[in-house]
């Protein structure tokens, strides 16, 4: 079985988030995932980002707003009742002071100030920080999901190598083992219902176990770094595997852990399937065959599959990886190139010569 986990010299990410691979001869290749990310329009992302920004703002502001609403209502009630023992309501003013402290008090060096505290200062730099937190709320969600995906990929790689899946010790808030559904879909969350919750990550690994038991795949390679010299792209494919219950030959596969699978998965798998060679990445391993030739991919059955893992279900989805998908990937690559280098087609503005007469 082949295990090719790329090192830092083989895969590098630039400051703008784009990624490139370098082969043994020092040639640079655009990353397949970077190409697709930069070359396929994603109009839905703006709405998704705005939604998360709004949810973050509500979460940050709702508690203090409700607290001050209660204080104002009590103050009005006192003012409306001339017979009220006004001075006995001293705790009311103590609460007001605590409210002001809540809005403006600085936290210690270890704890960042709350977003509403930054806004309440009225200081330009601090209110700008609050704006950034709200506007980038989706980035934190995206990064969390990406890190979860990396974790799952790593555990599956280790399983393929040594045959063991780990038991994770992560905060149990992701999925219910008892009825096998995600928390957000769970209708009975009180302790009396005797439901046992596990992490999202553990739920996904459990689903991977169900996939193994039901489809009985035979893994041929994992995390293999592949290159296409003609079109100058490279990437790390997740799986090469046999699935006799579906059909003969070796499938090329990808693992997805997000909420849904997007059509770009077919382009990604088509690009990997059309790679011209692969290279070992670990030190001490020969970069070429004994005769000096490059390592070629094993023969594939020209079918792609996507293993979609969620905490409460999995699905094995066929993906087309033929000529149409490869042609579309090449067009996406051209669009990616334009978004990165198209600015070079414009020059500095014309300048009128000064009249020295």
d(CA 90, CA 50): 43
* Lookup: tokens for 114: 């709350």
Residues 93 and 8 placed together within one structural domain of the fold: no
Q: Choose between 186 and 309: higher pLDDT.
A: 309
In-domain check, residue 173: no
Q: Choose between 32 and 201: higher pLDDT.
A: 32
| Most confidently predicted of 16-30, 49-63, 94-108, 285-299 | 16-30
Residues 221 and 260 placed together within one structural domain of the fold: yes
Q: Which domain holds residue 93?
A: 44-135
Q: Choose between 33 and 180: higher pLDDT.
A: 33
d(CA 104, CA 98): 10
First and final C-alpha spacing in the chain: 81
**Residue 14 pLDDT level (bands cut at 50, 70, 90):** low
Cβ within 8 Å of residue 211, ≥6 positions away = 217, 307, 309, 314, 316
Q: Residue written as tokens 């990406």?
A: 146
Of the listed ranges 39-53, 141-155, 287-301, 322-336, the least confidently predicted one is 39-53
* Lookup: tokens for 169: 């010790």
Q: What is the mean pLDDT of the chain?
A: 79
Residues 11 and 67 placed together within one structural domain of the fold: no
16 within 8 A of 214, measured Cβ to Cβ: no
* Lookup: tokens for 111: 């704890």
Residues 309 and 227 placed together within one structural domain of the fold: yes
Question: What is the SS3 assignment for 287?
Answer: coil
**Residue 4 pLDDT level (bands cut at 50, 70, 90):** very low
Q: Which residues face 305 on adjacent strands?
A: 253, 318
In-domain check, residue 328: yes
In-domain check, residue 352: no
Question: What is the SS3 assignment for 220?
Answer: strand
pLDDT in tens, 126-140: 777 777 777 776 677
* Lookup: tokens for 150: 């990396």
Q: Of all residues in the chain, what percent carry a pLDDT higher than 70? A: 66
pTM above 0.85, yes or no: no
Q: Is 257 exposed, middle or buried (0-12, 13-18, 19+ CB in 10 A)?
A: buried
In-domain check, residue 154: no
d(CA 191, CA 32): 46
Average pLDDT over residues 319-348: 94
pLDDT of residue 175: 52
Residues 258 and 333 placed together within one structural domain of the fold: yes
pLDDT of residue 189: 42
In-domain check, residue 90: yes
* Polymer length of the chain: 357
d(CA 167, CA 164): 10
**How many C-beta atoms surround the C-beta of residue 217 within 10 A?**
21
Average pLDDT over residues 338-344: 91
Q: Which residues face 31 on adjacent strands?
A: 234
pLDDT in tens, 274-332: 999 998 766 666 677 777 788 899 999 999 999 999 988 999 999 999 999 999 999 99
171 within 8 A of 148, measured Cβ to Cβ: no
Residues 50 and 125 placed together within one structural domain of the fold: yes
d(CA 231, CA 318): 25
Residues 90 and 19 placed together within one structural domain of the fold: no
- Residue 334 sits in a domain whose CATH number is 3.90.320
Which of 135, 163, 187 terminates a domain? The answer is 135
Cβ within 8 Å of residue 134, ≥6 positions away = 53, 56, 57, 60, 115
Residues 59 and 24 placed together within one structural domain of the fold: no
Average pLDDT over residues 116-133: 71
d(CA 65, CA 69): 6
pLDDT in tens, 72-114: 776 666 666 666 655 555 566 666 666 666 666 666 666 667 7
Average pLDDT over residues 36-48: 77
Nearest to 279 by CA among 293, 263, 262: 293
Residue 45 has pLDDT above 90, yes or no: no
**Residue 188 pLDDT level (bands cut at 50, 70, 90):** very low
Q: Of all residues in the chain, what percent carry a pLDDT higher than 90? A: 39
pLDDT of residue 267: 97
């Amino acid at each position: 079985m082949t295990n090719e986990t790329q090192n830092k010299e083989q895969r590098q990410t630039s400051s703008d988030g784009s990624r490139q691979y370098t082969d043994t001869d020092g040639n640079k290749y655009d990353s397949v995932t970077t190409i697709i990310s930069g070359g396929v329009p994603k109009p839905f992302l703006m709405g998704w980002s705005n939604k998360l920004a709004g949810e973050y703002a509500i979460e940050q502001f709702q508690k203090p707003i409700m607290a001050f609403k209660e204080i104002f209502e009590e103050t009005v009630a006192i003012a409306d009742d001339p017979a009220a023992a006004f001075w006995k309501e001293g705790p009311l003013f103590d609460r007001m002071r605590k409210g002001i402290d809540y809005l403006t008090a600085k936290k210690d060096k270890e704890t960042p100030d709350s977003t509403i505290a930054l806004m309440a200062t009225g200081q330009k730099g601090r209110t700008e920080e609050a704006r950034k937190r709200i506007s980038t709320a989706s980035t934190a969600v995206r990064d969390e999901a990406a890190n979860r995906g990396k974790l799952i990929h790593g555990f599956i790689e280790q399983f393929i190598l040594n045959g063991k899946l780990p038991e994770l010790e992560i905060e149990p808030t992701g999925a219910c083992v008892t009825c096998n559904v995600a928390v957000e879909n769970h209708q009975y969350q009180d302790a009396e219902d005797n439901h046992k919750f596990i992490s999202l990550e553990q739920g996904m690994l459990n689903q991977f176990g169900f996939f193994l038991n039901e489809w009985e795949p035979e893994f041929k390679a994992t995390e293999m770094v592949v290159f296409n010299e003609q079109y100058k792209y490279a990437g790390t494919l997740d799986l090469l595997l046999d699935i006799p219950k579906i059909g003969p030959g070796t499938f090329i596969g990808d693992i997805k852990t997000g909420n849904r699978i997007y059509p770009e998965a077919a382009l990604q798998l088509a690009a990997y399937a059309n790679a011209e060679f692969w290279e070992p990445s670990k030190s001490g391993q020969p970069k070429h065959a004994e005769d000096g030739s490059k390592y070629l991919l094993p023969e594939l059955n020209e079918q792609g599959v996507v293993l979609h893992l969620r905490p409460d279900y999995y699905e094995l989805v066929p993906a087309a990886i033929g000529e149409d998908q490869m042609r579309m990937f090449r067009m996406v690559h051209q669009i990616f190139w334009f978004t990165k280098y198209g600015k070079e087609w414009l020059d500095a503005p014309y300048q009128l010569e000064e009249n020295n007469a």
